[in-house]
Amino acid sequence: MLPMQRAYQILNNTYGYADFRLNQQDIIGSLLQGRDVLALMPTGGGKSLCYQIPALARDGVGIVVSPLIALMQDQVDALQQLGIRAAFLNSTLNYGTVLQVERELLEGEIDLLYVAPERLLGEKMLALLERLNSSVGIALFAIDEAHCVSQWGHDFRPEYQQLSVLAERFPGIPRIALTATADQRTRQEIIQQLRLQNADVYINSFDRPNIHYTIRQGQNARQQLWRFIADNHPQDAGIVYCLSRKKVEDTALWLAEQGRVALPYHAGMSADTRREHQQRFLREDGVIIVATIAFGMGIDKPDVRFVAHLSLPKSIEAYYQETGRAGRDGQPSNAWMAYGLQDVITLRQMMQESTASEQQKRVEHHKLQAMLGLCEMTTCRRQALLEYFGEPTPEPCGNCDNCQSPPEVWEAAVAAQKALSCVYRTGQRFGVNYIIDVLLGKDDSRIRQFGHDQLSTYGIGTEHSQAEWRNIFRQLIALGYLSVDVDGHGGLRLTDKSRPLLRGEIELHLRKEQMRERVRKERNRA
């Protein structure tokens, strides 16, 4: 039988699927010919089959490197249910089980082995693989979540950079690297670090046309969320992401009070409770899971109808990956988000307080700015998203908030000048609330104590409300005209971009949030 016929047979008989999807067939074809592969496929695209089927069709064991230790047991259980001889090796196993798996491997009783990267790199494991290679054989190496190799990426794992050892020690064995997230730069890093210069590269479109994108500003975010859920998803399953554990618990409780089954999920809960909530989400209909980003990697539920963010993801990659958990079955689904100024400040502070290197912090800052750019843009969000992943599209999508109701903008240069000069004159060390109080000419003891009631900018902003000023400041930060200081107090500073704006050399168009809200209400009433 031809290898590809064998692959089809496995697809039909073992998995029970009629046909390959997307690039699966070509990817499998390359591996069956012994070639290396880099496969970029969106979440839910069906990456696993791309290495599982050739591992089964070729002689020897398929070795799968995966960072998701917590999921290995489930993955292996699922494979065993299909009748596939799968096993895993990671730090959760006791010594006896490890020995047993090793014995079964050498006796040719295992077809697929999942290994954590740090385990694979140990000399003991490499020696075992060499014995395996010269006895039952190794069918292929699959490196899952390959973006972990990238320092530029959001899931950097130093061990991944050492996986080039596989190319050195096992030169004839095909390797496939897979990821759902890769901008141009990450892609290049994967190729270099993993020595995939000669690999066949398969890139599936990252477009998820069935997902509708909405990003709103976050006043009364919870109320907005409820209106969104009640109007669009009264009975659907969905995920609500929040930044903090407390917000997760509060929001779950609140949604439950509105009559929905809403379960919290975060790293501070016991493993048992987390597992129980995850199982209920997977098995029952219409459950909402309210989670920190701890939830989701490897979750495979096809009919998640909405993913809502009650806070800002820290990068476009994270946003894409999290929203990508909606609508895996291809049915219309919503990615909805409400975010506010406080999110930006909190995220900046978290990034600054982390133990990451200066270089890493710069990268994170840059990525957050890109995410803010996506939030504040006034044109098609899908185009911007795909552009970010190196996939320019000629036409606006017609299936995002900006396409469907283009935001109104206003000429905000004068307001911005007032805001920037107030930041400057108060010494570039105060947070947003204080600056707004000065602009509004608030009678406040702190302002008097600093003598800021004597400044020329004191009370020059009364034509805007407090809420409007918060909108203005949020956009100025998002667009890079102001930066949130890194001292942990959220002080605002001018940036290189501020100067031409202050000198009146450029125009500035900002979104008109309040107006949009009013227009929408009137439309609804009509």
In the complex, the residues that contact Zn ion under the rule CB under 5 A are: 380, 382, 396-397, 400, 403
Q: Closest Cα partner for 161 from 193, 121, 117? A: 193
Judged by CB, which is closer to ligand ADP: 24, or 311?
24
d(CA 234, CA 248): 20
Contacting ligand ADP (CB under 6 A), which of 29, 44, 153, 491?
44
Estimate the share of the chain in helix, then strand, then coil, as percent rounded to the nearest 5: 50, 15, 40
48 lies in the site for ligand ADP, by CB under 6 A: yes
Choose one: 46-54, 229-237, 289-297, 364-372; the region binding ligand ADP (CB under 6 A): 46-54
Judged by CB, which is closer to ligand ADP: 10, or 308?
10
Tokens 């990252």 -> residue: 206
265 lies in the site for ligand ADP, by CB under 6 A: no
Decide if 330 contacts 210 (C-beta within 8 A).
Answer: yes
Q: Closest Cα partner for 337 from 258, 403, 469, 238? A: 238
54 lies in the site for ligand ADP, by CB under 6 A: no
41 lies in the site for ligand ADP, by CB under 6 A: yes
Question: What is the amino acid identity at position 54?
Answer: P
Q: How far is the CB of 49 from ligand ADP (least distance, A)?
A: 5
147 lies in the site for ligand ADP, by CB under 6 A: no
Choose one: 13-21, 214-222, 226-234, 282-290; the region binding ligand ADP (CB under 6 A): 13-21
Q: How far is the CB of 148 from ligand ADP (least distance, A)?
A: 14
Residue nearest to ligand ADP (CB): 46
Stretch (H or E) spanning 38: strand 37-40
d(CA 135, CA 148): 31
397 binds, among ligand ADP, Zn ion, none (CB under 5 to 8 A by kind): Zn ion
17 lies in the site for ligand ADP, by CB under 6 A: yes
Q: DSSP for 131-146?
A: HHHHTT-EEEEEE-SG
> What are the angstrom distances between the C-alpha of 252 and each of 256, 277, 501?
6, 12, 43
90 lies in the site for ligand ADP, by CB under 6 A: no
- Copy the structure tokens of residue 491: 């002080």
CB proximity list for 70: less than 8 A, separation 6 or greater? none
Judged by CB, which is closer to Zn ion: 46, or 396?
396
Stretch (H or E) spanning 222: helix 221-232
- Each residue of 332-346: b (16+ CB within 10 Å) or e? ebbbbbbbbbbbbbb
Tokens 């806070």 -> residue: 311
Judged by CB, which is closer to Zn ion: 408, or 444?
408
Q: How far is the CB of 48 from ligand ADP (least distance, A)?
A: 3
Q: How far is the CB of 340 from Zn ion (least distance, A)?
A: 23
- Copy the structure tokens of residue 62: 């398929």
Decide if 336 contacts 307 (C-beta within 8 A).
Answer: yes
Determine the longest span between alpha carbons in the chain, in angstroms.
88
43 lies in the site for ligand ADP, by CB under 6 A: yes
Contacting ligand ADP (CB under 6 A), which of 3, 6, 9, 46?
46
321 lies in the site for ligand ADP, by CB under 6 A: no
Judged by CB, which is closer to ligand ADP: 55, or 338?
55
d(CA 269, CA 138): 40
Name the packing angle between helices 123-134 and 95-106 (round to 10°): 20
Number of residues forming the site for ligand ADP (CB under 6 A): 13
Contacting ligand ADP (CB under 6 A), which of 32, 47, 243, 498?
47
Choose one: 38-46, 105-113, 160-168, 259-267; the region binding ligand ADP (CB under 6 A): 38-46
Q: How far is the CB of 18 from ligand ADP (least distance, A)?
A: 7
403 binds, among ligand ADP, Zn ion, none (CB under 5 to 8 A by kind): Zn ion
141 binds, among Zn ion, ligand ADP, none (CB under 5 to 8 A by kind): none
d(CA 21, CA 482): 46
Contacting ligand ADP (CB under 6 A), which of 300, 303, 408, 468?
300
Enumerate binding residues for ligand ADP (CB under 6 A). Answer: 17, 20-21, 24, 41, 43-49, 300
